[in-house]
Amino acid sequence: MARHVLVTGGAGYIGAHACKVLARAGYVPVTYDNLITGWRDAVKFGPFEQGELADRARLDAVFARWQPVAVMHFAALSQVGEAMAEPGRYWRHNVLSSLTLIEAAVAAGCLDFVFSSTCATYGDHDGVLLDENTPQAPLNAYGASKLAIENMLRDFGAAHGLRSVIFRYFNVAGADPDAEVGEFHRPETHLVPLLLEAIDGRRGALTVFGSDYPTRDGTCIRDYVHVMDLAEAHVLGLAWLEAGKGSRVFCLGTGTGFSVNEVIEAARGVTNRAVPVTQGPRRQGDAVALVSGSARAVAELGWRPTRSTMPEMIADAWRWMQNGHYSQ
């Protein structure tokens, strides 16, 4: 019997990589995506169902059709700048849509749920290594909306037996080494693809958002994880739930932070090309430093991030940019 997994946002960056790893692990990923920020071409590893998360009747039909063993919920708005400017969209789209999805999953008796949360739920913690027990105090509506969904999952766990693995991601970069899927956002707002597009002459200079932060070189520090390592953690999270181990939160980082300037230097080294850069003001809503321990994911899930070095992430993202694309 095929084991279907309902993957919301399976046509997006992280969701598409998760579908590849799920298929490799013997599951059938069923992508549920509205294609507003996702790409039809990214759905390569299982069936596609186009729909809105807020459409309960459509979700009910999809649960009935595929009888998924679990949900992986990636679909979300995820840009800090946009969340500062339009918080209502984040509360409506991320929180209300997730509520509809969770209620549909419970009604269908699909009680294993893997959720994409974020280090943006933490806020500023003055350079400490963040872990699952660090207090959460988000600085923007993106982080706040994800934290609300974490709380929602807990409540539905207590009331309806929903079992959730919540992954708090740090920054995600890189691409499938085979370049079957990769990172492609329109508009693009993320550092690594913007940087590589600037290097490749596809856009103007990269603007560094703030160089007066209290860090070693004045730019913000983030912990970058390779998207394939992250996708593998999701399959381990699913196995955890299927083994009946119950609800759990896991941070997915590497414990090593890179400043914006260090990422720029690494891209210069990997591509061997000049990097056009200009200095700009701070971006509102940005935390100074977000770096995680991943001891729990390593010890309990057996997670082994093998590709999350900065040169490898940049090299894979660069290969994808040269060789892969989705039609626009």
Angle between helix axes 141-160 and 97-107 (nearest 10 degrees) is 20
**Does residue 30 sit in helix, strand or coil?**
strand
**Does residue 35 sit in helix, strand or coil?**
coil
Least distance CB 113 / ligand UDP (angstroms): 23
Task: Restricting to residues 255-274, name those near ligand UDP by CB under 6 A.
Answer: 260
Of the candidate spans 33-41, 190-198, 266-274, 312-320, the one that interacts with ligand UDP by CB under 6 A turns out to be 190-198
- Judged by CB under 6 A, the residue of 189, 211, 261, 309 near ligand UDP is 189
Least distance CB 115 / ligand UDP (angstroms): 17
Least distance CB 209 / ligand UDP (angstroms): 4
Which among 139, 97, 99, 92 has a CA at the least distance from the CA of 118?
139
- Judged by CB under 6 A, the residue of 131, 176, 183, 286 near ligand UDP is 286
Rounded to whole angstroms, the Cα distance separating 130 from 290 reads 7
Nearest 5 degrees, angle CA 239-CA 320-CA 206? 110
194 binds ligand UDP (CB under 6 A): yes
Give the x/- contact pattern for ligand UDP in 201-230, rule: CB under 6 A. Answer: -----xxxx----------x-x--------
The answer to whether the beta carbons of residues 249 and 132 sit under 8 Å apart is yes
**Closest CB to ligand UDP among residues 95, 191:** 191
| Residue 142 a catalytic site member | yes
**Closest CB to ligand UDP among residues 37, 247:** 37
Total residues binding ligand UDP (CB under 6 A): 15
Rounded to whole angstroms, the Cα distance separating 12 from 150 reads 21
C-beta nearest to ligand UDP: residue:
220
Which residue blocks in the chain are alpha helix, DSSP H?
13-24, 56-66, 80-85, 87-90, 97-107, 141-160, 191-199, 227-242, 260-271, 295-296, 310-323
Least distance CB 261 / ligand UDP (angstroms): 9
Of the candidate spans 11-19, 27-35, 186-194, 267-275, the one that interacts with ligand UDP by CB under 6 A turns out to be 186-194
80 binds ligand UDP (CB under 6 A): yes
Least distance CB 172 / ligand UDP (angstroms): 8
Least distance CB 41 / ligand UDP (angstroms): 23
83 binds ligand UDP (CB under 6 A): no
The answer to whether the beta carbons of residues 228 and 21 sit under 8 Å apart is yes
190 binds ligand UDP (CB under 6 A): yes
**Closest CB to ligand UDP among residues 160, 283:** 283
Active-site entry in 13, 142, 213, 224: 142
Angle between helix axes 227-242 and 13-24 (nearest 10 degrees) is 60
Which among 98, 76, 103 has a CA at the least distance from the CA of 162?
103
**Does residue 275 sit in helix, strand or coil?**
coil
Burial (0-12, 13-18, 19+ Cβ within 10 Å), 168: buried
Task: Restricting to residues 146-185, name those near ligand UDP by CB under 6 A.
Answer: 171
**Closest CB to ligand UDP among residues 50, 189:** 189
Residues 6+ apart with CB under 8 A from 16: 10, 38, 39, 42, 43, 44, 181
Rounded to whole angstroms, the Cα distance separating 103 from 156 reads 9
Least distance CB 61 / ligand UDP (angstroms): 34
For the annotated catalytic residues, the residue numbers are: 142
Site residues, ligand UDP (CB under 6 A) = 80, 171, 189-191, 194, 206-209, 220, 222, 260, 283, 286
